[in-house]
Structure 1
Amino acid sequence: MELTVGMFRTGILGYGGGPSVIPLIRYEAVTRYRWLNDDEFGEVLALANALPGPIATKMAAYLGYREKGALGAVLAVLAHILPTCIAMVALLSAVTVLSSSKIVAGMIAGVTPVIAVMLGTMAYEFGEKAVKGLGLYVGIGMFILSFLLLEAVQIHPAIVIMLFLAYGAVHFRVLAKLKKERKNKEGSA
């Protein structure tokens, strides 16, 4: 039930496309229901970004599958997309009237900054965790490197994500090995 309610909430409150719904999905999965921790959510988000298709639907399917298997995946996706589908069908007849309304244009203009702040907050929190795990200089260096790869070299985002996932796997394994060796030396001394 929690899965259906959580994904229904993201579907009904989400506005602006897949990336703008991610903070809502994160809130449901990490904060409200604790299906994942922040690190797991970041890893799943990175993998979902690397795969083709709508990001929010992939996240809903993953969460559903993780919690309740294949049936959970189907229910989570349906709960996430049904509010939008119903709203689109219900509002289709009123589109011509609403499209020229100054009130509706004002409402949309009011929602856009909220979405930008939500995305900015999530990016800041992930950046903060990166700096905490990697250190300030490596974190800033990785940000600059990813920006250059994406904007200057124009490498596909999925490739950049895979490169950084590979780096992260190696980085944390090396750190774990160094900590283990240091602990062994301190224990034997």
Structure 2
Amino acid sequence: MLTLPDDVRGSFKDPFGPVYTDAAALLADAGRPVIAVGDVVTYHLRRAGHAPSVALVDGKTKREAVDAEIREALSDPDHRRDVENPPGTLSESLLSTLAEAVAADDPITIVVDGEEDLAALPAVLVAPVGATVVYGQPDEGMVRVDVTDDAKAEMRSLIERMNGDVAGALAALGVEPAGDSR
């Protein structure tokens, strides 16, 4: 549905919020609900005693398979949704499943066949103001993004710079398209 153009990749080098190495400290500062993007992030939040409302995992960290301990800790057969999402993209399946998971009453683990790296963008867009989206910053820690109107505007701007059906992607999330969407 959407692909990340090379000229936008640089926008992702700097974290979108403060970086934590201690999950308990992050959780103490986080709003609710918490949406986790990434296997290692989800693992650390669960080990700290908090099951994220939505977790997006792909069985990998830094393009390598996660170890058995992490894979087992993230196993959630009762609340699991499977989606396909090729690397460098946001698929309609991921977007619509994410929107449904955020609206659900029970915690949902979205298992991505492909890559979940860009999912923090739509997660901020679809999460309620006051929520927190957490994603991994390789070799640094966990990034806490407070969901505010400003954060939503920033993520929407990045999504609107992606190639593909932006209006369709926003519709899959249940977000109103802007007048100038492609």
State the TM-score bracket (shorter-chain normalisation): under 0.3
TM-score where L is the length of structure 2: 0.27
Higher relative contact order (CA 8 A, sep 6+): 2
Considering fraction of residues, name the structure with more helix.
Answer: 1
TM-score where L is the length of structure 1: 0.26
Point out the structure with max Rg over C-alpha. 1
Considering fraction of residues, name the structure with more strand.
Answer: 2
